[in-house]
């Protein structure tokens, strides 16, 4: 949960994670370390607060059936992206080459899955229970925009 809260923390609202829901609304989530603020970006550009959420009330989604299959497909997608390997290289470089790239890479994938499941669980807490497949799909939508914005070693080469 700590890692997921960290991924939702942002000093400026422009850096906060955004989840575009089925109605096309842009939902913004920001953690202050203790609570998660949920706001919506209005067409006027204003940001309207909706709720503050206690993260301890979020129970981790356990995907099964179609949800597990969809999660596996998404992990294959992540595994095929150069940006994921680039992020692993970035982390290895950032931490002074203290670990093997393979260890860091698998850690990146594991962290991605946990963050995705936690975000899916957060959405389930806010929107009501979702099936495993629907929950995983919405978690992917919420997570993937951030994944594509992660730093990579290629940004410095």
70 shares a domain with 33: no
Q: What is the rounded distance in angstroms from the CA atom of residue 20 to the CA atom of residue 4?
A: 18
- The residues near 106 (Cβ < 8 Å, ≥ 6 apart) are none
Per-residue pLDDT, 104: 97
Q: Residue 141 is encoded by which pair of tokens?
A: 């939508």
83 shares a domain with 113: yes
The 10s digit of each residue's pLDDT in 87-133 is 999 999 999 999 999 999 999 999 999 999 999 999 999 888 777 89
Supply the pTM of this predicted model: 0.86
Residue where one domain finishes, among candidates 22, 40, 56: 56
- For the chain, give the mean pLDDT: 89
Instruction: Quote the number of domains for the chain.
Output: 2
Which residues span the domain enclosing 21? Answer: 2-56
Q: Residue 12 is encoded by which pair of tokens?
A: 């400026």
74 beta partners: none
């Amino acid at each position: 949960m700590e890692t997921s809260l960290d991924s939702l923390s942002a000093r400026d609202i422009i850096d906060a994670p955004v989840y575009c829901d089925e109605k096309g609304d842009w939902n913004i989530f920001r953690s202050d370390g203790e609570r998660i603020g949920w706001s919506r970006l209005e067409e006027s550009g204003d940001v309207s607060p909706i709720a503050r959420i206690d993260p301890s009330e979020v129970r981790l989604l356990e995907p099964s059936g179609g949800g597990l299959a969809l999660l596996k497909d998404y992990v294959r997608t992540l595994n095929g992206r150069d940006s994921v390997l680039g992020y692993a290289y970035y982390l290895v470089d950032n931490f002074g080459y203290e670990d093997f790239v393979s260890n860091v890479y698998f850690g990146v994938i594991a962290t991605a899955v946990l963050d995705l499941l936690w975000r899916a669980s957060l959405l389930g807490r806010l929107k009501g229970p979702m099936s495993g497949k629907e929950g995983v799909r919405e978690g992917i939508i919420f997570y993937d925009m951030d994944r594509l914005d992660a730093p990579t070693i290629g940004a410095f080469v």
